[in-house]
Amino acid sequence: MNEIPLIFFLWVGAFLFATGLSIILIKRNVIFVLMGVELMLNAANLNLIAFSQGDEQNQGLMMGLFVLVIGVCEMSIALAIILQVYRRFKKIDIDQFQSRN
């Protein structure tokens, strides 16, 4: 069985991370920013699993699964907070969250 070289995983991870970072920097909508954070988290997760290819105990895979579950919990809490903010202010742009003196 032919294994996929590590460099391919690193390139895909770098592409996912760059895409997530660009979404965070460009978009003003909170939902898109959360999607960018999730892409960056998945890029790091992909690299974690790729570097553990030779591990017979599958520690990297178990750690990746743990990170994935924590990311889902973080996303559900963030979406619940965003829903409450939308109910109060009727918009979810990042620019509205500036402090007023």
Domain boundaries, the chain: 6-93
pLDDT of residue 99 exceeding 70, the answer is no
For residue 78 the two structure tokens come to 């963030």
Distance CA 24, CA 30 (A): 9
* CATH domain 6-93 topology: Helix Hairpins (1.10.287)
pLDDT of residue 101 exceeding 60, the answer is no
In tens, the pLDDT along 9-67 reads: 999 999 999 999 999 999 888 889 999 999 999 999 999 888 888 888 888 888 889 99
CB within 8 A of 59, min separation 6: which ones? 52
